[in-house]
Chains A and B, each alone.
Chain A
Amino acid sequence: MVEPMKSNPTILLVVVLLLACGGNAATTTTPTSVADEGTVVLYSGRTEELVGPLLTRFEEEAGIDVDVRYGSSPEMAATILTEGTDSPADLFYSQDPASLGSVADLMEPLPESILSLAPERFSDPDGRWVGITARSRVLAFNPELVAEADLPATYRELVDPQWSGRFGIAPTNGSFVTFVSAMILLEGEEATGEWLEGIAANDPVTFDGNSPIAAAVDAGDLELGLINHYYLRELAAEQGSITAQNHFFTEPDAGSLVMPSGIGILSTSSNPVAEDLIEFLLSAESQAYFAETNFEYPVSPDAPAPGGLPAIDTLVSPVLSSAELAGVLDQATDLIAAAGLA
């Protein structure tokens, strides 16, 4: 790549100029990895697009800096497990209960004052993490390309040859992995493996995340997509109007799973501010934000429901514990990989 070359004063000029503008930037962006007074370190498996604005609001209102490390939920869980007692993180905010379950042993039970803010069914039975929002698995479809009446009755029918090449999935995304974990618990490993192989053989279009599936279905590049319910609402908020719609499956199986996102405090943290952040996320203001801006279901019973969606009480969902889901998380990843989807 590097041809031996001589130099020229223009390079010097460029470097000096860049130095000059970089010098200013450097002073404003010094990172801190050690939590000091008024700083809380958050490992977030939820994306910056979804929770960043809310965290900024907390920083402004509470006068506390939130240092957020964004990544996928399993990645952050693995990071916490590797770091062990040396983890700089105070809190772990996860997209899926399975990742929370895998680090629950490293978390401190939360006080009753926090746990009482969310219904029990969305939190850890042992009180080590609390649910913040709930999301339902759905089938997004483009009504211009396929009528709702013609949609598969359950996700299982997606292995039918008639859907070949017509649907999108995000097989490596945390939500899909949790969905597969639920399937293992409800239907057994063998049936799950067979279904995944059937899906792989049915020419799915695979993505790394849910948002691009929502966009592809809406644009008409795809007819169907397995995603979480709020991605289409987000797209609508961004684009003004959308064509694609959510279809909620009506059988209480993995396809209709309602999954909490949740947050917990690590035992290694002695930061008193950590609880403030959780209380903020469960406050009426934040819960309303989740409903109105992200179109997620707030866990707080007092919060308004997201517009244009069925009430959360009307959704059927299997009841599964996060510990059980965590127990089969890597098994789910193995099955997905064995089917050739990851």
Chain B
Amino acid sequence: MSTAVVDAGVLSARGRRAPVRLLGLATLTVVPLLFPFGYLLWQALAGGWQGVLPAGRLAELALNTLLLTGLVVIGAVVIGFGTAWLTTRTDLGGARMWSTVVALPLVIPSYVLALVLLTGTGRQGILSGMVVALGGDPLPIPRGLLGAVLALVVSTFPYVHLSLVPALRRVDPALDEIARALGAGRLKRLRTVLLAQVGPALRSSALLVGLYSLADFGAVSLLGYDTFTRAIFLQYAGRIDRRPATLLAAVLVLIALAVIGLERSTRPPRSERKGRVVRPGSLHRLSNGRRFAAVTFLTLLVATSVGVPVAVLAAWWVRGTAAGRETVAVWSEVGRSISVSIGAALAVAAIAIPIAVLVTRYRSRLGAVLEASAWTVSALPHLTVGLALLLVGVTLLLPLYQTLPLLFVAYVTMFLPQALGPTEAALREVSPNLEEVSRSLGQSPLQTFRRITMPLIGKGVLTGAGLVFLTTMKELPATLLLRPTEFETLAVRIWSTTSEGFYTRAAFASLVLIMISAVPMHFLVSRDLRHA
């Protein structure tokens, strides 16, 4: 009994040393995720860069990629800030409903939005048909930069919205009142009070959107805008020599790392003000004219980002089917997509638990490094994850090459933090005292975890699993490169039929993908907003 008491005493000191076994487990999980990138960079160096790619081409791709990234960040932040502000800081009616529907574009992957642009415009386009009926000219197909910006802004502004809503709700009204009392004008208050308080959320969502644009493969490829990802895939698919694709991928990884590093190093230190919001802030009163303008803006936004895409796909499919174009049943693709997504969700959620325990229950520098590593690799472009694992698979891990386990390694690499986030949050809600009591009553750490902690964090783990499920459903580039032979998923099918010009089949497969994603997405998004 006395040893248990001593044990409990040690336990109660938060920040005790992490058990070696837990550290080992977490290390064995995360380090293999880093290795393929090291191998990719090494291969790129070993292959040499002189004569592999003209320097001018590299500069052109870098310029194109950064131009796209900059425009998408601006567009997504402006729209996302607008919707988040309107739905949290004003007396607009139905704010909660708006906040949910504005996030709906998350169910539509960027490559499907590209398909929407391709089937909506041009002389045969659905939207062109409506414009022509009204006496206008057919809409030109927005290939290149314009189309890519449109598709990616629609894909990303909901992320900005979702991360700004909680930040805006937490804004302290007292600061604004003090500023006003001191005679600060509206603009000055916006800058020094509001933006200062939501700044961190704004920065991190802008970073997220930037990384997303840097990494997007489907939309830029289908719309023919030359960024790194498109060039990497074209080099990969178009030639025998793998060095150019490897080199480009290595450069893209370094650019992404630089962006992440820049954001981290310039991030202001976190200032947690305890017990900050004593009362909700007063809502900005909208005049009738402005209320009308706000509702019109939100309606148009939802219509163009969700309504129009679904309607265009449905109309194209109906028209094509009526004209006798066959829609190939995609049920086996649906089966593969769902089973692989569930597998990924469960695997990633399970793998996240030890790391989350390590980070939330112990003070460990190694644990913090491992967690940061997991976040960093997950932010790298999925195409480079696929290419790096492909290289490793074909040269070092041949038994795993072209098998589901290797694909799952890719999913863990890309999506581990999605499960880590909710799991860590759930663990922080569970008082360590409960676990200490259990230990003091003679239960082993594992028994304690199984009987006390796990039941309490189960829902957080499942939320993480739900997120991983959704992103796996939509994932294209890594799946395209690593899928086992004959393992075409829904995303791969949409990609191949769209790039081959079989838009009727692609439209049908896209509608199915959207429907499958919509149901769980609805629960996740509405929950997220309710608890924010």
| A126 is an interface residue with CB less than 8 A from chain B | no
Please report the C-alpha to C-alpha distance between residue A84 and residue B520 in the assembled complex, in whole angstroms.
44
Among B122, B342, B401, B531, the one with the most A-chain Cβ atoms within 10 Å of its Cβ is B342
Is chain A's binding surface mostly helix, strand, loop or mixed?
Answer: helix
Select the stretch in A186-194, A213-221, A270-278 that faces chain B: A213-221
Query: Are A1 and B418 touching (Cβ within 8 A)?
Result: yes
Q: Are A221 and B238 in contact (CB under 8 A)?
A: no
Q: Given the interface contacts A25-B339, A47-B500, A88-B402, does A2 sit within 8 Å of B345 by beta carbon? A: no
From A28, A47, A177, A238, give the contact of B325 (CB < 8 A).
A238
**Shortest beta-carbon distance, B482 to chain A, in Å?**
12
Query: Contacts of A21 on B, CB cut-off 8 Å?
Result: 338
* Residues on B with beta carbons closer than 8 Å to the beta carbon of A88: 402, 485
> 1/0 per position for B302-340, CB-CB distance to A under 8 A?
000000000000000000000111000000101110110
B242 at the interface (CB under 8 A from A): yes
Q: What residues of B have a CB within 8 angstroms of the CB of A7 in the complex?
A: 422, 426, 458-463, 527
Task: Answer yes or no: B499 CB below 8 A from chain A CBs.
Answer: yes
Contact with B along A55-86 (1 / 0, CB 8 A): 00000000000011111101101110111001
* A207, B166: Cβ atoms closer than 8 Å: no
Q: Mark B223-240, 1 if CB is under 8 A from A, else 0.
A: 010000001001111111
Contacts of B528 in A (CB 8 A): 3, 5
The residues of A that contact B163 with a CB separation of less than 8 Å are 3
With both chains docked as a complex, state the minimum distance between the C-beta of B37 and any C-beta of chain A, in angstroms. Answer: 19
Interface check A26, CB cutoff 8 A: yes
Q: Which of B57, B238, B496 has the most CB of A within 10 A?
A: B238
* Interchain CB contact under 8 A, B459 and A11: yes
Do A15 and B323 have beta carbons less than 8 Å apart?
A: no
Whether B485 pairs with A33 at a CB distance below 8 angstroms is yes
Decide yes or no whether B60 CB sits under 8 A from chain A.
Answer: yes
**Are A333 and B527 in touch, CB under 8 angstroms?**
no
Q: How many residues on the A side are at the interface (Cβ–Cβ under 8 A)? A: 74
Minimal beta-carbon separation of A129 from chain B (angstroms): 16
Interfacial chain A residues near B501, Cβ < 8 Å: 209, 211-212, 214-215
A222-250 residues with Cβ-Cβ distance < 8 A to B are 238-240
Q: Indicate the member of A1, A68, A77 with the most B CB atoms within 10 Å.
A: A1
Indicate if A31 sits at the interface (CB-CB under 8 A).
yes
B132 within 8 A of A: no
Contact with A along B446-465 (1 / 0, CB 8 A): 00000000000011111111
Q: Does A116 contact B (CB under 8 A)?
A: no
Contacts of B459 in A (CB 8 A): 6-9, 11-12
| CB atoms of B422 and A2 under 8 A apart | yes
Min CB distance, A144 to chain B, in Å? 11
Q: Given A74-B240, A82-B394, A342-B234: A11 and B527 within 8 A (CB)?
A: yes
> Which of A41, A214, A221 has a CB less than 8 Å from the CB of B123?
A221
Instruction: Name B's interface SS.
Output: helix
Is the Cβ of A33 less than 8 Å from the Cβ of B425? no
Is B487 touching A29 in the complex (CB atoms < 8 A)?
yes
With known contacts A5-B422, A10-B523, A239-B325, A71–B531 Cβ distance under 8 A: no
Interface membership of B208, Cβ < 8 A: yes
List residues of chain A with CB within 8 A of the CB of B402: 33, 69, 88
Cβ proximity bits B477-511 to A, threshold 8 Å, 1 near / 0 not: 00000001111100000001101111100000000
Given contacts A25-B334, A47-B500, contact A5 B425 (CB under 8 A): yes
Q: Chain B contacts of A147 at CB under 8 A?
A: none
Chain A residues with Cβ below 8 Å from B82 are none
* Interface-centre pick from B398, B466, B488 (highest chain A CB count, 10 A): B466
Q: Does B409 contact A (CB under 8 A)?
A: no
In the complex, the answer to whether B462 meets A78 with C-beta atoms within 8 Å is: no
- Contact across chains for A33 and B520 when beta carbons are under 8 A apart: no
Interface centre among A86, A216, A239, A337 (most CB of B within 10 A): A337
Distance (whole angstroms) from the CB of A225 to the closest CB of chain B: 12
Instruction: Tell whether A333 pairs with B531 under 8 Å between CB atoms, given A15-B465, A212-B501.
Output: no
**Interface presence of A340 (CB below 8 A):** yes
* Chain A residues proximal to chain B, CB less than 8 Å: 1-12, 14-15, 18-19, 21-26, 28-29, 31, 33, 41, 47-49, 67-72, 74-75, 77-79, 81-83, 86, 88, 99, 102, 172, 174, 177, 205-209, 211-212, 214-216, 219-221, 238-240, 329-330, 333, 337-338, 340, 342
Q: Can you name 18 A-B pairs with beta carbons within 8 Å?
A: A3-B162, A3-B532, A4-B422, A5-B460, A6-B459, A6-B527, A7-B463, A12-B459, A33-B403, A33-B485, A67-B486, A74-B237, A75-B237, A77-B240, A78-B240, A215-B124, A221-B123, A238-B325
Chain B interfacial positions (CB closer than 8 Å to A): 53-54, 57, 60, 122-124, 141, 143, 159, 162-163, 166, 208, 221-222, 224, 231, 234-242, 323-325, 332, 334-336, 338-339, 341-343, 345, 394-395, 398, 401-404, 417-418, 420-422, 424-426, 429, 458-467, 469, 484-488, 496-497, 499-503, 519-520, 523-524, 527-528, 531-532
